[in-house]
Amino acid sequence: MLKSEGLHKSFGSLRVLQDVSLVVAPGSRHAVIGPNGAGKTTLFNLLSGELAADAGRISLGEKDITRLPPQARARRGLARSFQRNSLFPEMSVAENLALACALAARVEWRAWRSFRRFTAVHADAAAVAAAVGLQDLLAEPAGQLSYGAQRQVEVGLALACRPRVLLLDEPTAGMSPQETRAMQDLIGRLPRDLTVVIIEHDMDVVFSLADRITVLDSGSVLAEGTPDEIRSSAAVQAKYLGGPV
């Protein structure tokens, strides 16, 4: 479903990603792990189009999306959540989600009708809110929510795009164990026809969710395989898991 081949990215003389290839099967849950600075978020930035790759190809389904800007990729069904919350702070949770749903419904250019009357869009937004557990906070301004709730909105925004492929960048970052469990459940409940790629540091979440894992280290792919393969890989254990798991 999502494939990248030979991605390279450098910032000046700093080589961040080197020959990174990734194949994500449709409907799978693919985790990307690695130490800090391994280039995981940069990889996501290349996949979602925020950054342009120096070399390599990215394809979504059959389509080569390497040259497409972020909005074009989003419209083709590739949505992402950000590592650092990037919301619309002065709008309520409902409004935040409604924005994304309006874009998914392609009504963003309608200028002559009150937004309120687009009931389908708002119903979608409510559904997404319920899916991420925010149904009680709909009227709250996003900027005033707790960190964990903002994280939920962050994921909700990506979900509201009705994507085919969902990129989640450290969705549980900074969350309490309770909140992490809730996010884990949420991801587990996502429809199987949705392909999910997730960057995570929390190994419990990774091993419980992932079908396949790619391990990045210093910009290159260190290992790639099923959770068992990764767990038993000596190379991975040495570098990242800190000894046999």
Residues engaged in binding another protein (CB under 8 A): 48, 50, 69-71, 74-75, 79-80, 82, 86-92, 94-95, 98-100, 102-104, 107-119, 121-122, 125-126, 129, 135, 138-139, 141, 157, 160-161
- What is d(CA 172, CA 200) in angstroms, rounded to the nearest whole number? 8
Nearer to another protein, 45 or 184 (CB): 45
In the complex with another protein, the residue whose CB is nearer, 23 or 127, is 127
Identity at 178, one-letter amino acid code: Q
- In the sheet with 63-64, reading across from the earlier edge strand, the strands are 14-24, 2-11, 55-60, 63-64
Which of 75/181 has CB closer to another protein?
Answer: 75
Q: Which C-beta is closer to another protein: that of 116 or that of 189?
A: 116
The amino acid at residue 5 is: E
> From the CB of 163, what's the least distance to another protein, in Å?
9
Question: If you write DSSP's letter for every residue of 147-174 in order, what string do you get?
Answer: HHHHHHHHHHHHHHT--SEEEEESTTTT
Tell me the closest approach of the beta carbon of residue 35 to another protein, in angstroms.
Answer: 21
| Least spacing, CB of residue 58 vs another protein, in Å | 16
CB of 138 to another protein, least distance (A): 4
Cα distance between residue 62 and residue 76, in whole Å: 11
Asked whether 195 and 166 are in contact (CB, 8 A), the reply is yes
Name the strand (E) or helix (H) holding 40: helix 40-48
Residues whose CB falls within 8 Å of the CB of residue 163, separated by 6 or more in sequence, listed in order:
74, 77, 78, 79, 194
β 220-225/212-217 pair status: antiparallel
Q: How far is the CB of 121 from another protein (least distance, A)?
A: 8
E-strand spans in the chain? 2-11, 14-24, 29-33, 55-60, 63-64, 78-81, 165-169, 195-199, 212-217, 220-225
C-beta of 24: minimal distance to another protein in Å?
Answer: 19
**Nearest residue (CB) to another protein, 7 versus 74:** 74
Smaller CB separation from another protein, 94 or 221: 94
